[in-house]
């Protein structure tokens, strides 16, 4: 059985965005795992990994950290199970997409939901979280909340391209879901768990795709504590 370290939020919420990529990848490969929730500020518990972030997995005596490295590890270690990338070109495209999402889309989404997320982190992480995210934001959480409408509109303009993609095909990866879908989905799952505000227009191609993603693996990602 694989062990996964991920973040622990208030009332059973598992809000680590990058860990959702790993959890969906594990489901895709049909691999069981046991979750170990940790506080964001608790670096001692995850020091064995050599890093300061989750997700981390342990599979036998192999420890892997970083969601992208984990996806590559799972693909290479379990090649006989459903593929995450669909070959070398797909792996290259997924890596390109991963980098773009993390540097562009994530930076637009984070300020929209971060003040709501702050209310749902474990109280033991309050001070750490505020310091960390106010550093990313270069403003206070309260200032980000006050600008929410304007920031949400800016995000929506960037999501337009994804509305067009998902009008033409059912999944980011084409006819069936694969790792590219889990990359994009992790952002919307993060938003669902963090914030009571809807960020996708109801009935839109993106909203319908998210429903398809939430239905996967017997509603694995749907049936979790959300905002
Ligand atoms: N590139 C890393 C980023 C991981 C990351 O930033 N994880 C967040 C949680 S979603 C974290 O552990 N943050 C702890 C911290 O910043 O102290 C990956 O893809 O796994």
Q: If you take atom 16 of ligand 1, which residue's CA is the nearest one?
A: 53
Q: Which atom of ligand 1 is nearest to the CA of 54?
A: 12
132 lines ligand 1 (CB under 6 A): yes
Question: CA dist 33 to 27, 84, 96, 130, Å?
Answer: 9, 17, 27, 31
Confidence of residue 164 (pLDDT cuts 50, 70, 90): very high
Give the three-state DSSP class for 180: helix
**pLDDT computed for residue 34 by the predictor:** 98
Rounded distance from Cα 53 to ligand 1 centre (Å): 4
Strand ranges inside the chain, DSSP E: 2-7, 33-38, 56-59, 62-65
Compute the average pLDDT of residues 99-114: 98
Locate 191 and state its tokens: 């938003």
The model scores a pTM over 0.95 = yes
**pLDDT computed for residue 47 by the predictor:** 98
């Amino acid at each position: 059985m694989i062990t996964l370290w991920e973040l622990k939020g208030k009332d059973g919420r598992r809000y680590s965005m990058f860990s959702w990529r790993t959890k969906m990848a594990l489901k895709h490969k049909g691999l069981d795992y046991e979750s170990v929730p940790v506080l964001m500020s608790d670096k001692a518990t995850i020091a064995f990994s050599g890093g300061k972030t989750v997700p981390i997995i342990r599979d036998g005596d192999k420890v892997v950290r970083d969601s992208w490295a984990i996806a590559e590890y799972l693909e290479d270690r379990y090649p006989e199970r459903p593929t995450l990338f669909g070959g070398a070109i797909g792996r290259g495209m997924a890596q390109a997409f991963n980098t773009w999402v993390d540097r562009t889309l994530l930076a637009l989404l984070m300020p929209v939901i971060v003040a709501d997320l702050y209310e749902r982190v474990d109280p033991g992480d309050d001070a750490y979280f505020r310091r960390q995210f106010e550093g990313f934001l270069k403003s206070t959480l309260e200032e980000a909340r006050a600008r929410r409408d304007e920031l949400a509109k800016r995000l929506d303009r960037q999501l337009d391209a994804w509305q067009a993609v998902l009008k033409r095909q059912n999944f980011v990866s084409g006819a069936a879901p694969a790792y590219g879908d889990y990359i994009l989905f992790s952002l919307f799952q993060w938003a669902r768990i963090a914030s009571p505000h809807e960020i996708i227009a109801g009935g839109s191609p993106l909203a319908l795709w998210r429903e398809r993603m939430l239905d996967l693996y017997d509603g694995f990602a749907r049936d979790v504590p959300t905002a």
